[in-house]
Amino acid sequence: MKIITRFAPSPTGFLHIGGVRTALYSWLFSRRNKGLFILRMEDTDIYRSNNKSINSIINGLKWLNINWDKDPFFQTNNIYKYMLIIKKMLNDGNAYKCYCSKNRLNLLRNYQIKNKIKPRYDKFCTNFIKKKKQYVIRFRNPNNGFVIFNDKIRGLIKINNKELDDLIICRENGIPTYNFSSVIDDINMNITHIIRGVEHINNTPRQINIFKVLNQKIPKYAHVSIILDKNKKKLSKRNCINDINEYKKKGYIPEAIINYILKLGWSYKNKEIFTINEMKKCFSFKNFIKSNSIFDIKKLNWLNQNYMKKMPIVKIKKKILSYIDNINLNINKIPKIESVIKLFKKRCKNLIEMVKLFKYIYKKKILLNYFMFKKILKFKHIYKILIIIYNKFKKNKFWNNNNINLIILKIKKQFKLKMYEICMPLRIIITGNIKTPNINDIIYIIKKKTVLYRINQIINIIYNFKNN
């Protein structure tokens, strides 16, 4: 049997963490089994579905390298196919038209709630032939018996048909609802395994009943636990960055995101870091976690940093180019971007942070704010020291780490300074920052000309400041 899974988002919002997780698990399961993975846009809610959302889903998955087979499928291109089946179901008596007004349904609901009856449709329109223009079509759910299925994560689930509503399968506007079109496509696409969020578990017995009246093979189901924030609230825009494309903008590494999301609801021994191949190899339903998962941005940052440390420089280079373009930084000057990445890659949580941290390297002038300037002035003999350093650097013929270090050490000795008292002012002057990689390394990679320019710049400012 060929394994076929699908990711079936309703394109009504951005691609969020929970969606990526469903897509990832479905993708891994099909890839592991050399099956197919299908992307299906469940866009039959025509008022809420939109192109922005479709783009968010497609771009997000592409960025994460979750690739799908065949073209993405859009349900709205196939309305007539669903309607043919609904017509047949109406003829066979497996579906019926419901003419109830919103008002009637509301009254019914209020009555049921007041009398502590589980709110559901009372089948008022079954066997009831009334010719009105406005109607929805309902599935005739069996009145007796049970729906039993073996959830791959949650085990055996048994639901009494008496608990189930006659659900609406076609709206008043003639467009089928999610529960119906989803089943029909799962049939047409020969989906073997449905992996989705546990919030869908109540839909499953209803959907199984539709499979049954259509005499179709029922797929296997796996309902994945909910993701919560630290305060046990459902993830939302308010309590975390939930839009996957925001993580891209913020400079996260897609492999780290995938690794993090994989572990939200699934685990394998004590292993934390997985390559994509390892994920494919280890993935099975045995290792799902039934309890809710907690989203922890600190752990994601830790993982991201870990990936950055290990990532080859050329790969990081490829990934940061777009961020560099965004801030119009010209990196085609000295030093080579590869040597800059080498210095910075261990120090940053993400790619954007890295670009922000090293951008001073490629700027000609360093803009010091007043606070930084005051800080420099506080260092002992600073004016004199800067002039000496400037001259020594200028005379130096062999620009290498060792020579730079020797010059600095000599001046330190001459003025009886602590290391900090010479490195800190240099650091501020040359980088405009208080925290940087080893200042000798920075001085070395940005080369003599720029270093002299920056030191000279500050000498002039101090000179003018003193004489005014």
- Please report whether residue 125 would count as binding Zn ion according to CB under 5 A: yes
Binding mask 31-50 for ligand GLU (x = CB under 6 A): -----------x--------
CB of 60 to ligand GLU, least distance (A): 14
| Contact stretch for ligand GLU (CB under 6 A) within 2-10, 168-176, 364-372, 442-450 | 2-10
Please report whether residue 196 would count as binding ligand GLU according to CB under 6 A.
Answer: yes
Q: Give the residue with the Cβ less far from ligand GLU, 50 or 457.
A: 50
Judge contact between 176 and 207, C-beta under 8 A. Answer: no
Closer to Zn ion at the Cβ: 5 or 177? 177
User: Angle at CA 119, nearest 5°, toward 113 and 120?
Assistant: 155
* Residue 57 to residue 185: CA distance in whole angstroms: 19
Structure tokens at 124: 């008022």
Identify which range of 123-131, 240-248, 354-362, 381-389 contacts Zn ion by CB under 5 A: 123-131
Calculate the dihedral angle through the C-alpha atoms of 296, 299, 301, 307, rounding to the nearest 10 degrees.
Answer: -140
Number of residues this chain uses to bind ligand GLU (CB under 6 A)? 8
- Is residue 136 a contact point for Zn ion (CB under 5 A)? no
Which CB sits closer to ligand GLU, 44 or 436? 44
> Residue 178, interface with ligand GLU (CB under 6 A)?
yes
Find residue 36's DSSP bridge partners.
4
Site for ligand GLU in 199-218 (CB under 6 A): 200
> Strand pairing partners for 147?
159
Q: Rank residues 3 and 8 by Cβ distance to ligand GLU and give the closer one.
A: 8
Q: Which does 299 bind (CB under 5 to 8 A by kind): ligand GLU, Zn ion, none?
A: none
Closest CA to 29 of 165, 207, 221, 205: 221
Peptide bond into 205 cis (omega under 30): no
* Interface residue with Zn ion, options 100, 341, 443, 451 (CB under 5 A): 100
Cβ-contact 300, 235 below 8 angstroms: no
> Radius of gyration (Cα) for the chain, nearest Å?
32
For residue 160, the cross-strand partners are: 146
Select the span of 4-12, 249-257, 283-291, 357-365 touching ligand GLU (CB under 6 A): 4-12
Shortest Å, Cβ 284 to ligand GLU = 20
Q: Minimal distance in Å, beta carbon 117 to Zn ion?
A: 17
Residue 8 binds which of ligand GLU, Zn ion, none (CB < 5-8 A, kind-dependent): ligand GLU
Q: How far is the CB of 37 from ligand GLU (least distance, A)?
A: 13
Nearest to 40 by CA among 144, 164, 190: 190
**Cβ atoms 305, 349 nearer than 8 A:** yes
Shortest distance, CB of residue 176 to ligand GLU, whole angstroms? 13
Question: Which stretch in 3-11, 76-84, 254-262, 368-376 sits in contact with ligand GLU by CB under 6 A?
Answer: 3-11
- Minimum CB distance to Zn ion, residue 184 (Å): 23
445 binds, among ligand GLU, Zn ion, none (CB under 5 to 8 A by kind): none
Taking alpha carbons only, the member of 219, 186, 201, 230 closest to residue 290 is: 201
CA angle 298, 303, 350 (to 5 degrees): 85
Query: For the window 126-165, what string marks contact with ligand GLU as x by the rule CB under 6 A?
Result: ----------------------------------------
CA dist 447 and 182 (Å) reads 62
Q: How far apart are CA 362 and CA 273, in angstroms?
A: 34
| 26 binds ligand GLU, rule: CB under 6 A | no
Three-class DSSP category at 384: helix
DSSP-assigned states of every residue in 369-432:
-HHHHHHHHTSTTHHHHHHHHHHHHHH-SS--HHHHHHHHHHHHHHTT--HHHHHHHHHHHHHS
User: Which of 106, 131, 134, 132 lies closest to 121 in space, CA to CA?
Assistant: 106
Task: For residue 16, state whether it binds ligand GLU (rule: CB under 6 A).
Answer: no
Distance CA 242, CA 345 (A): 26
Residues that bind ligand GLU (CB under 6 A): 8-10, 42, 178, 182, 196, 200
Residues that bind Zn ion (CB under 5 A): 98, 100, 124-125
